[in-house]
Amino acid sequence: MTIHNILSWQQSGARANQSTISRVYHLLEQLTNSLRYNAFTPVLFVDFKQAIDMFWQQGLLLKLKRLTCPTPYLLWITNYFKDRTITIDLNGLLSDNITIEGEASQGRVFGAIAYIIAHHDLQQIFERPENNHLYVDDLGSIYVCP
């Protein structure tokens, strides 16, 4: 993802040596600069509810195809989302298999990575993408008034 420049620098999720703290530091730096100039600076925080759980798999595959992802990877990802089941173990009592549909599984690393790839171009809708801070499915957007 990094080699092919899929991850914007504003996205700190699923990246080596970065975390939510990386975004917080940058946001605080922007706020501090605004305070120096006594500028009105609203900040919007968005938590996309169930973003990974309600993930659109076909959208990911389309995006990857546009990014010229090799066919074997596309096939592997397609297979990853097919025929998924879980079993619940409650004190040794096992449930029947439960089919999982339309999910990228929030608790798995690939779910977060898939979400990030599918939304890697989110920054393009903003007038000033450098004022946005992303951590997987969370967005902080600061408007620095002139």
- Report the largest interatomic distance among the alpha carbons of the chain, rounded to a whole angstrom: 63
Q: What is the pTM of this model?
A: 0.63
Nearest Cα neighbor of 11 from 128, 125, 117 is: 117
Extents of the domains making up the chain: 20-142
Mean pLDDT confidence for 6-27: 70
Indicate the range of 8-12, 40-44, 108-112 predicted with least confidence. Answer: 8-12
CA distance 56 to 103: 8
Cβ distance 102 to 81 under 8 Å? no
Nearest Cα neighbor of 108 from 136, 134, 83 is: 136
Quick: pLDDT tens for 52-88. Answer: 777 788 888 998 898 888 999 999 888 887 877 888 9
Residue 48 confidence (pLDDT): 79
